[in-house]
Amino acid sequence: MREPGCDPAFHLFLLLGQSNMAGTPLPEPRDLVRNPRVYVLSYADCAAQEREYGHWSVASPPLHGCNAGLGPGDGFGRILADAYPDARIGLIPCAISGVDIDYYRKGVVSARRHEFLIPPDNHWSGAYEWVVERARLAQRSGVIRGILLHQGESDSGDPAWTGKIKEIVEDLRSDLGLGDVPLVAGELLHGGLCEKHNALVNELPRVVSNTSVASARGLGGMDPHHFDLDAQRELGRRFGARMLEALAG
């Protein structure tokens, strides 16, 4: 959906998931060097980053809130900016650490809703409506070109998970007027406690149209669930490579 007056050269991407999308490892100084053509739709009011919820700022970690770490969105934004030197890249962070996939389903109230806060004031019954509101706000400025997903640790091994992802993506595509925009889903940590869930992640291209998978093979962890700093940098590059392939196709 293109709003009147929005810039078609402002390429927007939704970032959905839980803690590995938000990022756990703390960034180093080189991660804080900003690309002036990569923006983030602020996730919270963060005085240290001079960000106000719902306003665009030049991106730097953390993208999800004020105190998260480096996630794949950071490296992804740099890869896309390099690939499109005449465009701006806009990241719409919507990850919430620890949430189950029901949190993102339209018209569904997760049984764990009470455990987590949805910014800025937690009034939503679920995250789907929040994501749509943020996406529509972003669409006033640019065009959504794709969706990134890293989620599954809270639903590890649940055979219903792929069907729920299909439902969420189809609802977002329809409600936001996105057509068949690409979805790139990231694998969970190989060798981690939820590694077996990757079998379901790799089913998504068969279940959801225009979907590809960013591999986590060879990437290290800081604990049994979370990628370490080098892994997050590389995972962001892999998300970017898969998205560029999809957009070129």
Provide DSSP, 7-59. Answer: -TTEEEEEEEESHHHH--SPPPGGGGPPPTTEEEE-SS-BTTTTB-TTSEEE-
Return the closest-CA partner of residue 15 out of 58, 77, 60.
77
Residue 4 lies in a domain: no
**Pairing of the two strands 10-17 and 38-41:** unpaired
Q: Considering the candidates 11, 19, 154, 155, report the single residue annotated as catalytic.
A: 19
What CATH number does the domain containing 174 carry? Answer: 3.40.50.1110
In the predicted structure, residue 2 carries a pLDDT above the cut 70: no
| Percent of the chain topping pLDDT 90 | 95
Residue 34 domain-assigned?
yes
| Domain membership flag for residue 3 | no
Active site annotation includes 19? yes
**What's the domain range around 33?**
10-248
User: 209-226, pLDDT tens digit by residue?
Assistant: 999 999 999 999 999 999
pLDDT band at 49, cuts 50/70/90? confident
* Helices 161-175 and 127-139, axial angle in degrees (round to 10): 40
From the candidates 82, 180, 223, 230, give the one annotated as an active-site residue.
Answer: 223
Q: Does residue 2 lie in a domain region?
A: no
pLDDT in tens, 69-83: 999 999 999 999 999
Number of domains in the chain: 1
User: Is 226 designated active site?
Assistant: yes
By DSSP bridging, strand 56-58 and strand 10-17 are unpaired
Give per-residue pLDDT as tens, 83-127. 999 999 999 999 999 999 999 999 999 999 999 999 999 999 999
Nearest to 19 by CA among 104, 102, 99, 77: 99
Site of tokens 């995972």: 235
